[in-house]
């Protein structure tokens, strides 16, 4: 069960990836986690990635693919895995396919969590974060007991720059330009499936489970 999660920022694909991981007992793999683990463990690949990140540069595709392939080759991925946030571009997808082919493996499902842009802007601009303990809320879905105040520690809640409508729109524009072509790529490979991400989180997960055959 080798799964790639696709979807715009704020579509909820990370949440679904974690739920898939928990239900099916397969690792939830994000590139951020891989980078951190390799850097922390001082691996050769981690050292290479750190030289780019320390300069504020993007880690090159070739190195990202090496890190991902190294991770999916580990024993805990024998039954499968959920890739979250990778691949982001066609060159990354092609490099991943080529590397997997050498391992005698291939992607089984590319699950696209489909949410219209306007829903994402509304969803993300409703988020609030605590300046002190980092707890997160949503003014509609998970409101704090007292408006603007954290339930946990009583500190002030803010709208993060990342969640401001103008920032979200910019991130969505980048997503459509770079990542949307992956939807066509995986459609041609007959592995793309789509779920309606506007529904309740549990309903989205139920739809994914039906796709995965359980």
Catalytic residues: 13, 88, 127, 160, 171
Q: Any idea what DSSP says for residue 81?
A: E
- Burial label, 13 (beta-carbon count in 10 A; 0-12, 13-18, 19+): buried
CA angle 177/180/182 to nearest 5° reads 125
> Taking Cα atoms as reference points, which of 83, 40, 42 lies closest to residue 64?
83
Return d(Cα 94, Cα 65) in angstroms, integer.
10
Helices and strands, counts by H and E, the chain: 9, 8
> Taking Cα atoms as reference points, which of 177, 183, 151, 170 lies closest to residue 10?
170
């Amino acid at each position: 069960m080798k799964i790639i999660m696709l979807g715009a920022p704020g579509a909820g694909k990370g949440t679904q990836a974690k739920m898939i991981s928990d239900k099916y007992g397969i690792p939830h793999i994000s590139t951020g986690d891989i980078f951190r683990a390799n850097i922390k463990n001082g691996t050769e690949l981690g050292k290479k990635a750190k030289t780019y990140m320390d300069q504020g540069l993007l880690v090159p595709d070739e190195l990202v693919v090496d890190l991902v392939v190294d991770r999916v080759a580990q024993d805990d991925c024998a039954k499968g895995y959920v890739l979250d946030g990778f691949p982001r571009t066609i060159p990354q997808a092609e490099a991943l396919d080529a590397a997997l082919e050498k391992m005698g493996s291939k992607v089984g499902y590319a699950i696209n969590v489909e949410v219209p842009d306007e829903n994402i802007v509304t969803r993300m601009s409703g988020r609030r974060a605590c300046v002190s303990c980092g707890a997160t809320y949503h003014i509609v879905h998970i409101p704090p007991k007292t408006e603007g105040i954290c339930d946990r520690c009583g500190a002030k809640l803010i709208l993060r720059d990342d969640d401001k409508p103008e920032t979200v729109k910019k991130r969505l524009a980048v997503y459509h330009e770079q990542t949307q072509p992956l939807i066509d790529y995986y459609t041609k490979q007959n592995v793309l499936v789509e779920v309606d991400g506007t529904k309740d989180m549990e309903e989205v997960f139920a739809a994914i489970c039906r796709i995965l055959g359980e």
